[in-house]
Structure 1
Amino acid sequence: MAEVVVLFLTLCVQLLALPIYVLSYLGIWEPFCKKKFFPFFLEKFTVDYNQKMLRQKQDLFRNMMEFADPSGKLTVLEIGTGTGSNFQFFPPNCRVICTDPNPHFQERLAKSMVQNKHLEYGQFITTSGEALSQVPDASVDVVVSTLVLCSVKNVEAVLREVCRVLKSGGAFYFLEHVTADHSSWSFFWQRIYSPTWKLLFDGCYLTRETWADIEKASFSEIKLQHIHVPLQWTPIQPHIIGYAVK
């Protein structure tokens, strides 16, 4: 009976979003989403998200300088940089390499760079997290991923690339929304929203157990917490936060 209810409500949500499904079928939605809708949405969303997550982000990135090289220089690679919403939390004078598969973020990213002159910036690389071939092996001290692993095509492949580019003893910092407890109402609604959510928000999955992928990756130490983020009326409240050391 529960499965029937889930299916019925899923179809109701899809019916409400029917115009977007039609545009997707015609090949119109995805280009529009990548170029216009998603960059605009993410810029607005991350302002609210950073306000709600200010303390958690400050605490997460507080110890980044512990992973600097012996000369005190810190090189950070951010996967899925988007609008640059994490820049304000990075330590002064670190060098940031920005990557994102969507080139249409660059205008908003440039604005964030101007607002965060305490950092040095490398080249923007248009690539996915699974394909970081332009970044040499063992060349960065820290890799950062926030609200990114939900939408990559292959989490395991991304984490392999993270381990490849990290120096020995380097750290991977993450803050990701994940699936809710399977006995909860949150998971019930995640299942209902999932197909339409993925279409609306550029391939974002609601029910990934990302912590399991991190635990299976080649890290020597993992500090990971499950938290509940105060994002009312959204299905992305369950999060994981922490860092893993190579």
Structure 2
Amino acid sequence: MAKAVILFLRVGVQLLALPIYLLSFLGIWNPFCKKIFFPFFIEKFTATYNQRMSEQKQELFRNLQEFAGPSGELTLLEIGTGTGANFQFYPPGCKLTCTDTDLHFQRGLSRSTAQNQHLQFQRFLVAPGEDLSQVADNSVDAVICTLVLCSVQSIEGVLKEVLRVLRPGGAFYFLEHVAADHSSWSYFWQQVYNPTWKLVFNGCCLTRETWKNLEQAKFSEIKLRHIHAPLYWTPVQSHVIGYAIK
């Protein structure tokens, strides 16, 4: 019965989004989304998200400096940098390498770079999280990934690369929206919205159980918490936050 209701409501949502589905069928939506809509949306969303999640981000990155190498320098690699939403939370003087697959965030990224001169920007790489071949083995102290694993092709592939580039004892920091508890209304609506949400928001999936991938990866230790983000009336309130040590 529940599955039938979900399918019925999905059709209703898809009818409301029919113009986007038609543009997608005609091959127009995807390039428009990547070049114009999604970068514009992310820039606006980032400002709201950072405002509402500032306390959680500050707490998450509070101990980053503890993972600095023997020289005292902290080298960071960020996967899916986007517009640089995390820059303000990183400790002064750390050396940062940024990666993303989308060059259309450049305007917001340039602004964030200019506003965060406390960081040493090393490189900006165009690369998916599943293929960080431009980064050497065991070469970084910490890898950062926030609101990215919802849309990658393979979470397992990303985590495999994270473990490769991290030095022994290095840490992987994550903050990701995930599937809600299966018995909740939140999860019900996530299932309803998910097909259309993925189309509109560039492949973002609402129902991934990312914590399972993190727990199954070959980290020596993981500190993970489930939280409800103050993103009211949205299907992305359920989050996992924490870090894992190689």
Query: Is the pair's TM-score, using the shorter chain for normalization, greater than 0.5?
Result: yes
Aligned twin of 1:178: 178
Q: How far off its partner does 1:80 sit?
A: 0.3
Using the alignment, how far apart are the partners of 2:31 and 2:128 within structure 1?
Answer: 17
Deviation larger for 118-127 or 187-196: 118-127
- Matched positions, count: 246
Q: Secondary structure of 1:224's match?
A: strand
Using the alignment, how far apart are the partners of 1:110 and 1:138 within structure 2?
Answer: 29
Using the alignment, how far apart are the partners of 1:29 and 1:132 within structure 2?
Answer: 29
Give the letter aligned to residue 156 of structure 1. E
Using the alignment, how far apart are the partners of 1:31 and 1:122 within structure 2?
Answer: 30
Using the alignment, how far apart are the partners of 1:169 and 1:30 within structure 2?
Answer: 40
Aligned twin of 1:125: 125
1:165 aligns with 2:168: no
1:36-47 to 2 correspondence within 5 Å? Answer: 36-47=36-47
1:12 aligns with 2:30: no
Aligned twin of 2:112: 112
Q: Secondary structure of 2:223's match?
A: strand
1:4-153 to 2 correspondence within 5 Å? Answer: 4-153=4-153
Using the alignment, how far apart are the partners of 1:42 and 1:111 within structure 2?
Answer: 14
Aligned twin of 2:206: 206
Q: 1:81-140, CA deviations, whole angstroms, 9 ceiling, x for partnerless residues?
A: 000010000000001111011111122111100000000102211111001111111111
1:226 aligns with 2:226: yes
Using the alignment, how far apart are the partners of 1:16 and 1:71 within structure 2?
Answer: 57
Percent sequence identity is 67
Q: 1:191-230, CA deviations, whole angstroms, 9 ceiling, x for partnerless residues?
A: 0000000001110010001000001111000000000011
Give the letter aligned to residue 8 of structure 2. F
Q: How far off its partner does 1:161 sit?
A: 0.3
Using the alignment, how far apart are the partners of 1:103 and 1:132 within structure 2?
Answer: 17
Q: Normalising by the residue count of structure 2, what TM-score does the alignment of the two structures yield?
A: 0.99
Using the alignment, how far apart are the partners of 1:126 and 1:70 within structure 2?
Answer: 29
Using the alignment, how far apart are the partners of 2:69 and 2:123 within structure 1?
Answer: 20
Q: Normalising by the residue count of structure 1, what TM-score does the alignment of the two structures yield?
A: 0.99
Give the letter aligned to residue 73 of structure 1. E
Gaps of 5+ in 2: none
Aligned twin of 1:190: 190
Using the alignment, how far apart are the partners of 1:22 and 1:74 within structure 2?
Answer: 48
Give the letter aligned to residue 236 of structure 1. V
Using the alignment, how far apart are the partners of 1:159 and 1:118 within structure 2?
Answer: 28
Q: 1:11-61, CA deviations, whole angstroms, 9 ceiling, x for partnerless residues?
A: 000011011111111111111111111111011101111111111100000
Give the letter aligned to residue 103 of structure 1. L
Q: 1:177-198, CA deviations, whole angstroms, 9 ceiling, x for partnerless residues?
A: 0000111000000000000000
Q: Secondary structure of 1:232's match?
A: coil
Give the letter aligned to residue 168 of structure 1. P
Gaps of 5+ in 1: none
Using the alignment, how far apart are the partners of 2:43 and 2:164 within structure 1?
Answer: 30
